[in-house]
Amino acid sequence: MGTVSGLYERAASRWSELQGAICAAIEAADGEARFSTDRWSRPGGGGGVSRVLEGGRVFEKAGVNWSDVDGELPEDFAAQLPGWGRRFRATGVSLVLHPRSPMVPTTHANFRFLEKGDAAWFGGGADLTPYYLWREDAEHFHRTLAAACDAHTPVGDYPRFKRWCDEYFFIKHRAETRGVGGIFYDYVGHAPGHERATTADLEAAFAMAGACGDAFVPAYVPIVEQRRDEAYGDDERRWQLLRRGRYVEFNLVYDRGTTFGLKTGGRIESILMSLPPLVRWDHDVSPPGPREAALVEVLRTPVDWLGR
């Protein structure tokens, strides 16, 4: 198992560099707290670096994880993925940022590369989960990610990735999306059937995935800077904690990254770093006012933010 031109090693290095760049940008936006660094080894093969910021002025909790793991998949799970056999290698950077203010949206991003048998592919994306909706914020987030995809067409297909994101981050038991979307893609660079992906396929996918990773900070941080000083009170904070409950429900029930980590014997602290420090579930909650209702309406009927 091994990709052409040391692509796996280059991807692992690229994601490690991206982790550092994102952490530096988040520390600057917070202006107070700093990330801790936790290096860990995975029983069975590989390891990673988890970086966590807690109790900041802007971010209540922020986790940015880099990993490079390998091993053998459970037989039933291996059968669900491309490629022969059960051996795998996976490297990626993943993050979830939970702001203190309900006026600043939560966000998630993940950029990864996997090898299994004769198959190799890139997956990932980024999405935005506001508690109070400003249309211009959603448009900025989508526009920045779309520009990164557009620079790498045809592999970077923003309209397809946008639809994929809306479908993937749909909480079926709530009949609503987790947030206002972004991009999501998987199996990019992988050739269908048993045909091995070409060097050109994988290199194009790597360039696109790297560009999307680089676009995350300019897509998100300007929104933080715009909203972090907005006034809010106890009612808005309560709404934020209730909406965080939806976030937890998705991550524990549907999220592929969580599933992959649990089924491959991943490190629990890193897998569950996406969970917020405070959350609440109240019985039979309805939006308490027009701003909250406007958000829920968008979550139930995803919007084409860029008219594409």
pLDDT per residue as tens digits for the range 43-89? 888 999 999 999 999 999 999 999 999 999 888 888 888 888 999 99
- 58-67, 90-99, 196-205, 273-282: which has the minimum mean pLDDT? 196-205
- Higher per-residue confidence, 63 vs 191: 63
Average pLDDT over residues 25-38: 97
pLDDT given at position 82: 87
Average pLDDT over residues 286-293: 96
Residues recognised as catalytic: 108
Name the architecture of domain 4-276. 3-Layer(aba) Sandwich (3.40)
Q: Would the pLDDT of 1 be above 60? A: no
- Nearest 10 degrees: Cα torsion 249, 253, 259, 262: 70
pLDDT given at position 269: 80
Angle of CA points 258, 260, 263, to nearest 5°:
105
Encode burial over 106-122: b for 16+ CB neighbours within 10 A, e otherwise. Answer: bbbbbbbbbbbbebbbb
Read off the amino acid at residue 85: G
Domain edges within the chain: 4-276
Q: Would the pLDDT of 2 be above 60? A: no
Q: pTM of this prediction? A: 0.93
Q: Would the pLDDT of 192 be above 70? A: no
pLDDT per residue as tens digits for the range 19-29? 999 999 999 99
Cα distance between residue 61 and residue 67, in whole Å: 20
pLDDT given at position 43: 82
Torsion sign over Cα 228, 230, 231, 235:
negative
Torsion sign over Cα 306, 212, 40, 261:
positive
pLDDT per residue as tens digits for the range 265-281? 777 887 787 889 999 99
Q: Would the pLDDT of 190 be above 90? A: no
Cα distances (angstroms) measured from residue 163 to each of 83, 170, 305: 26, 11, 11
